[in-house]
Structure 1
Amino acid sequence: MSQDWPMGQEPHAAVLVAQGLIEHPENLDHVLLDDEEGWFVSDGSEFGDDPELDGEQFATVCLHDVVELLPQLRALAKLPAGMGANWDADSASWVLISPLVPSDDEEARAYREARDAAWPHAGSPMDEVNLSLGLMEIATAADAPARSVRYVSREEDGTWMFVGFEVPDPDEQTEVEVDTLELGHVAELYPDVVELLDAEPGEVFFREAPDAEWLQVIDDGE
């Protein structure tokens, strides 16, 4: 692939795109990247039970052409497989999501079991964890600040919290707005937290800068 090509998939990879976006790309609503790294790009339309209707609503287009039509996809070049993102036109940013995999689907169950078996840490990669909102958003502006985790805690009940540098003082009982993703997706998005994923319940870590070493908070926060 060309060094100028930003995506992790081949330029001619097939992408399923809502037909309405071809004429009205401003109606972009969300994208999904399945576990085999196949893109689905939608204006809000979803698959139903009628193959004929689905065929009318969606088209197969090469990824290169989709990126030309929707250049904001470039910001998702490193999106982990199995994730998705909602497009927020007002802020020109993507809001990350971990799509729900149906529990009654045999193939989905096998996929989950394989993920669990490959997960080397405590718990499951599908555990729901909390992230500050800045870690949930991928801005498309060229001058957007890099996203990085500043603070990691594992509560006594085993629940995880990840806070980014957009929060001034997460270690001083600051109220933090959060949303949720799967733990395995967080590990792929922010690989520098992986070394902390075997922390015991009650342990807390922080760092002064994105490239600084992690420090453990002991009792009074020092």
Structure 2
Amino acid sequence: MHRTAGNAAVARMRERETEPAEPAATRGRTGSLPYPAWDRQRHVWEGPDYGAHDGRTGGTSVMVVVGPSVVAPGNTYLGGPPQTGECSIVEELNRRDGGGWVKGHLWNDNLGGPGISRNMTPMTNTTNSRFNRAFEEPVKRMLLSCAHHARSSRSAPYWYGVRIRVSTYGRMSEDRTALEHHVPEGVDHSARYVTIDKLTGAIAAAAGPHAVPPDFAPEQL
């Protein structure tokens, strides 16, 4: 599982700076499928399953399995932007610092993640950008691989999707009076390919005869 750090490092930089001067069902092998064609089906195959969360400090983890339809033409940006009053500690941090903080989606909004507390965590702009480069953009490339396979291998008995796991770790500050005590140090993240059987809807790891094709974007482990 990869780890995106950054909040703690940014906090230390801030401290230094402030020390003075900081259905239409299609047909498969036999009969009708339980799902419509790949580009018209629900983009979430399983979950989302969220960890502990509250309205002020946001969420701590999410697991969700996303199918290739999320990157079909016209289907991106299925999630939602951060909502006012959700993960509200970010408003407190920005009032104190004059900006520099965002409500970071654990499950990316372009891939269906909602802008509500259980799916967001406070991040600095720097950490959010790093998380996007290190994880969110590679996951989008994985799903584009799934979509390409769905288009080019219509006779395959399964589709590929991606199981996304994200969880926060640590604290920016051990001082319980500091707002940073409620801000995670960073996030762990992984993304693995799965398959879904076109007839039964069963989800399984991509292995054996359904192993990941060599031209797919790399998994994020």
Q: TM-score, normalised by structure 1?
A: 0.24
TM normalised by structure 2 equals 0.24
Q: Higher strand share goes to which structure?
A: 2
Which protein has greater RCO, CA pairs closer than 8 Å, 6+ apart?
Answer: 2
